[in-house]
Amino acid sequence: MSLEVKVPAVGESITEVTIAQWLKKDGDRVEMDEVIAELESDKATFELPAEGAGILRIIAKEGETIDVGATICRIEENGAGSPAPAAPAAEKASSAAAPQQAAPAAAQGGSSGETVEMVVPTVGESITEVTIASWLKKDGDHVEMDEVIAELESDKATFELPAEASGTLQIVAQQGDTIEIGATICKIIAGAGPAEANAQAAAKQDAATQQVASKSATQPAAATGYGNQTYASGTPSPAAGKILAEKGINAADVQGTGRDGRITKEDAQSAQARPAQPAAKPAAETRPAAGGNAQAVAGERNQRREKMSSLRKTVARRLVQVKNDTAMLTTFNEVDMKPIMDIRSKYKEQFKEKHEVGLGFMSFFTKACTVALQEWPAVNAQIDGNDMIFNDFCDISIAVSSPKGLVVPVIRNAESLTLDGIEKEVVRLAKKARDGKLSIEEMTGGTFTITNGGVFGSMMSTPIINAPQSAILGMHNIVQRPVAVNGQVEIRPMMYLALSYDHRIIDGRESVSFLVRVKELLEDPMRLLLGV
């Protein structure tokens, strides 16, 4: 009976894979669930286990790119394997001794507990992959059930990964790797101590070494195809090697991001050839002539390359998408901040003593925006296909610069909060952002965004809309400038405001009127208290 093995579905957006390496040869006998090949997509590398025990018949060769669902090999169940080539006498003696040495190790491995494979859990409806931000435990460490062993980073938030069993940790995916939801991230040898786990790892390494040595002994030295070697750091996969050859790039000049430093297809696609180094000039030519203008370049000219985080890549993709998908315009105005600054100077101590939180500018701006949003609902709306969705609540997104990039947590129902309630939410969310502890729920569902570039010294900017919202308010730095007040020139603390909006749903009248209303409320804060 023959069993057809097909390329499994390895991700929602992946339609084809490349056969990176066959770990078994055509005609070899394989066991159920034994890894027989490595498949490489444009995102990650996957292992292909045997779906039954029998004789392997390879259909697709190494380096070939085949569709998901296509037949990759057959397994002839209950078949006899190909006879092994004759080995020299010395090798036979060595092989005869090997089983006797391996038997105790196998017995020892069998005495350990069950091996628990941990996969990347589902962390959000729209999240398909995560990056391993850090391992909190080392390979070989003993871990306890529910102990946090790693931090996973998606394009939206950071999550903790707890151990699913007690035992010894065996790390599969390395720190910095980006892997898909459902992929194996580590293994835990349940009930095994570090010494026992190390013994099992050593036994596996010995078996792998003997397998490689056996292949080398039965094949000519000139046979250096991918199927006859193991991948080392800096070694390209077949698909990557082909791309590098077409580009004329040496593999030694490419930094591999795959397992054990292997160069993946994605690494090869993003690799660029190094510029040719100019030939060194003779010493006489490097000296400028008398009276010449040539100057020698002094100092170091080093460069470094860093891989973009998932958060940074997603922010970049969304910003470009917003620019392409919306009719974005920006309108400006300026605000005299003296009334608010006078209130803060007069009442900040009493405010902090009573509410245990400082009185900042953000609460005034948030409250003013909620009033103006309810008066001009189109600014608080969004487009969904051919429909316009209007919200009778104000969920205000606050842009926060965290160590890992820009995040936008949401203050829910800000229209119903007092100034102290808003300040407490701002402090709470900002702290969680800096600590990388924001949840998906705390960063989704906003209806309007406020961003404050003034804290970094920005005088004026055109902020980009936070999709699927339709508008964003940009605050800027406060500058003492001469302005006309009641026919007299006075020096006042002035701030520029910028409202970027989607002209598809918000007209010019609505955008300008909204910004004027915010200006009125900020320049006369008593309106916020009286609701007028």
Active site members: 503, 507
191 closest CA partner among 213, 164, 208, 168:
168
Phi and psi at 144, nearest 5°, equal -105, 160
Helices (H), 257-309: 265-270, 283-286
408 closest CA partner among 443, 377, 435:
443
Structure tokens at 195: 């010494």
Matching residue, tokens 């750091």: 233
Structure tokens at 277: 């180094």
Structure tokens at 359: 């009185």
Matching residue, tokens 């835990």: 188
Tell me, what amino acid is at 277? Answer: Q
Q: Name residue 54's beta-bridge partners.
A: 30
Q: Give every CB contact of residue 465 below 8 A, 6+ residues apart in sequence.
A: 322, 326, 328, 449, 471, 472, 500, 501, 502
Cα–Cα distance for residue pair 404/251, rounded to 1 Å: 31
Matching residue, tokens 């398909």: 128
Cα–Cα distance for residue pair 56/66, rounded to 1 Å: 18
| DSSP symbols for 141-199 | -EE-TT-EEEEEE-SS-EEEEE-SSSEEEEE-SPTT-EEETTSEEEEEEET--HHHHHH
Cα radius of gyration (the chain): 32
Q: Where are the beta strands (DSSP E) in 430-511?
A: 448-452, 471-485, 488-502
Preceding peptide of 468 cis, ω within 30°: yes
* 3-class secondary structure, 242: helix
Note whether 394 and 446 are within 8 A (CB): no
Cα–Cα distance for residue pair 326/505, rounded to 1 Å: 10
Q: Give every CB contact of residue 413 below 8 A, 6+ residues apart in sequence.
A: 393, 394, 395
Neighbour tally for 502: CB within 10 Å: 25
Note whether 522 and 475 are within 8 A (CB): no
Preceding peptide of 278 cis, ω within 30°: no
Query: Nearest 5°: CA angle at 148, between 146 and 149?
Result: 115
Structure tokens at 170: 């065996």
271 closest CA partner among 245, 244, 302:
244
